[in-house]
Amino acid sequence: MPQRIGKYTTRLDSSPSVLGFAAIASKKEGEGPLAPYFDVICDDTAFGEQTWEKAESRMQKDAVNKALEKAGLSCAGIDYIFAGDLLNQCISSTYGLRDLGIPFFGLFGACSTMAESLCLSAMLVEGGLANTAAAVTSSHFCSAERQFRFPLEYGGQRTPTSQWTVTGAGAAIIGRKSVPPYLRALCIGTIEDMGVKDMNNMGAAMAPAAAATISRFFEDTCTGPDNYDLILTGDLGQVGSALLCELLCGKGYTLGEKHNDCGLMIYDRKKQDVHAGGSGCGCSASVLCSYVLPSIREGKLQDVLFIATGALMSPTSVQQGESIPGIAHLVHLSALPNPQQKGARH
Cβ–Cβ < 8 Å for 328, 310: yes
Q: Which residues does 204 contact at the CB level (< 8 Å), separation at least 6?
A: 161, 196, 198, 239, 240, 243
Q: At closest approach, how far in Å is the CB of 334 from its own copies? A: 19
How far, in whole angstroms, is CA 159 from its chain's centroid? 24
Among 94, 223, 260, 338, binds its own copies (CB under 8 A): 94
Q: At closest approach, how far in Å is the CB of 196 from its own copies? A: 13
193 versus 219: smaller Cβ distance to its own copies = 193
Q: Could you say whether residue 322 binds its own copies (CB under 8 A)?
A: yes
8 versus 182: smaller Cβ distance to its own copies = 8
Q: At closest approach, how far in Å is the CB of 318 from its own copies? A: 10
Q: Among 151-159, 285-293, 298-306, 317-325, which window interacts with its own copies (CB under 8 A)?
A: 317-325
Closest by CA position to 285, among listed 80, 141, 136: 136
Q: Could you say whether residue 152 binds its own copies (CB under 8 A)?
A: no
Q: How many CB atoms lie within 10 A of CB 5?
A: 17
Q: What is the DSSP letter of 31?
A: T
- 31, with CB counted inside 10 A (0-12, 13-18, 19+), is middle
186 versus 265: smaller Cβ distance to its own copies = 186
Q: At closest approach, how far in Å is the CB of 138 from its own copies? A: 14
Footprint of its own copies (CB under 8 A) = 1-2, 4, 8, 10, 50-51, 53-54, 79-80, 84, 86-91, 94-95, 97-98, 100-110, 116, 120, 123-124, 126-129, 147, 188-191, 193, 310, 312-317, 320, 322, 325, 327
